[in-house]
Structure 1
Amino acid sequence: MRIAVAGGTGWIGRLVVDAVQDAGHEPVVLARSQGVDLVRGTGLDDALTSESAVIDVSNAPTTRRKRSEAFFGTATRNLLAAEERAGVRHHVALSIVGSDRIDFGYYAGKRRHEQLVRSGPIPWTVLRSTQFHEFAAQLIHHRWPVAVVPEMISQPVAAHEVARCLVDLVVGGPVGLAPEIAGPERCRMPDMVRRLLRARGSHRPVVPLRLPGQTGREFIQGGLLPSGPGPRGEQTFDQWLASPATQRMARSRR
């Protein structure tokens, strides 16, 4: 099977490409480094064929509502239009657990993303995932003397397990909104960041920050937790911290 991966050179995208190969399929990377620009729409017609299925893990590195909506709106429309021209048979999109319930800037873009996929011309599947284990590292500003971390409860999942789930879904055929994927345990994000810092040999203080308004309440009242049964990853956050890849990353930051 020929599987195109939009955002295939990004962090999660590389894991998806590996999972495609491990499953015995042919990955096609859709990324600017490969001559494909989702926002401009260039290179898509050459990359997609009627034999293709698509996994979209493209991402906008912003928390601002307008920028997130602009990226996901433009990139998704361009990708779906090219898929229709090529005769693509299945589009799988990665989204976020809670993005439909919490009014947060970045999530507005993911809602736009989902809306376009669900109303688009290609048979579709949307998989919502909880935060990856690596999300804790993204919250650390390395120049700050303290780590200021939003108060939130998550059920973090290993990114490689999400990648495998996406490949299983794309091979299995369109199902619409798939059951949400999450990790095996619930964690407070400040605790995750504190454990990560200690694993890196850092004793930097962690300062929990409750976000204002309804968004802050949703973050601490379970708005980021799965709303029903679904696939659950096996790797815990502590197991991820102890993994060789994480240990190598920790040593490189010391």
Structure 2
Amino acid sequence: MRIAVAGGTGWVGRRVVDTVEAAGHEPVVLARSTGVDLMRGSGLDDALSGVAVVIDVSNVVTTSRKKSERFFGRATGNLLAAGQRAGVRHHVVLSIVGVDRVNFGYYAGKRRQEALVLDGPVPATVLRSTQFYEFAAQAVAYGGPVAVVPQMLSQPIAAHEVARCLVDLALANPAGLVSDIAGPQQLRMPDMARRLLRAGGSRRVVLPLRLPGRTGQAIAGGGLLPAGPGPRGQQTFDEWLASPAALR
């Protein structure tokens, strides 16, 4: 089966592509480097020829509500229209636990994406995930001796376990909004950042930063935790730290 992965060159998308291949299927990467522009819709018709399922893990780096809604609205609309023309039978989207409870600019775009997909012309499945362990590495990737990390309570999960869940869902029947996926433990992001830095031999100081207002209160106080039962990852953060994935 040909399975298209939108955003397949990103650090989540690469894991989805690997999982598709491991399952014995043919991944089709939708990215600018492969001649596809999601925002313009160029290259989509050719790329989706013969594709049965689309898994969308595309992303934009922004905290702006306007930019997030623009990206996810336009990219999702183009993917769905091209998928309908190509006869795609299942459209799977990765979203975020808490987007319906936390008023954050980026999350507004994800809510827009979810609405378009669930009401769209292609049968769909939406999986909301908690933050990945890799998010801690992103949080400390920049800066000098001090790493400023948001005060965040989450139940993080290894990205490869989310990738496997996405592919399993893609191979099943469309199911709409499914149960949240999360990791095995509740952790605070500053603590994760400290442990990651120490594991790499760094002595950088981690400075927790609480975002202002109700948004900051929600992120720090559990607004990003799963609201009910659902699939749970098996790999702990310590196990992830000791694995090669922590170095990628």
Scaled by the length of structure 2, the TM-score of the pair is 0.97
Deviation at 1:245, TM superposition (A): 3.5
Q: Sequence identity of aligned pairs in percent?
A: 72
After TM superposition, the structure 1 = structure 2 runs for residues 215-254 of structure 1, keeping only pairs within 5 Å, are 215-246=215-246, 248-249=247-248
For structure 2, the 5+ residue unaligned runs are none
Seen in structure 2, the aligned counterparts of structure 1 residues 137 and 51 have a Cα distance that, compared at 3 Å, is: closer
1:175-232 Cα distance to aligned partner (Å, 9 max, x none): 0001110000000111000101111111111111111111111112211100111110
Amino acid corresponding to residue 146 of structure 1 in structure 2 = V
Give SS of 2:111's match: helix
1:49 offset after TM fit, Å? 3.0
Structure 2 residue 106 is the aligned partner of structure 1 residue 110: no
Aligned to 1:13: 13
The alignment's C-alpha RMSD in Å is 1.1
Q: Give 1:129 shift.
A: 0.3
Q: How does 1:1-254 map to 2 (within 5 A)?
A: 1-49=1-49, 51-246=51-246, 248-249=247-248
Specify the alignment match of 1:252 in structure 2. none
State the shift of 1:141 in Å: 4.7
State the distance in 1 between where 2:52 and 2:62 align: 30
C-alpha separation in 2, matches of 1:135 and 1:84: 34
Contact 1:94 1:127 in 2 (8 A): yes
Q: CA contact under 8 A between 2:2 and 2:50: conserved in structure 1?
A: no
Provide the secondary structure at the position in 2 that maps to 1:17.
Answer: helix
CA spacing shift, 1:51–1:149, aligned 2, 3 Å: closer
Q: CA deviation at 1:243?
A: 0.6
CA distance in structure 2 between the partners assigned to 1:186 and 1:177 by the alignment: 23
Question: Does the 8 A contact of 1:50 with 1:89 survive in 2?
Answer: no
- Secondary structure at the residue paired with 1:11? coil
Letter of the 2:193 counterpart: V
Q: CA deviation at 1:119?
A: 1.2
Equivalenced residue count is 248
Contact persistence 2:4–2:51 (CA under 8 A): no
Matched letter for residue 219 of structure 2:
F
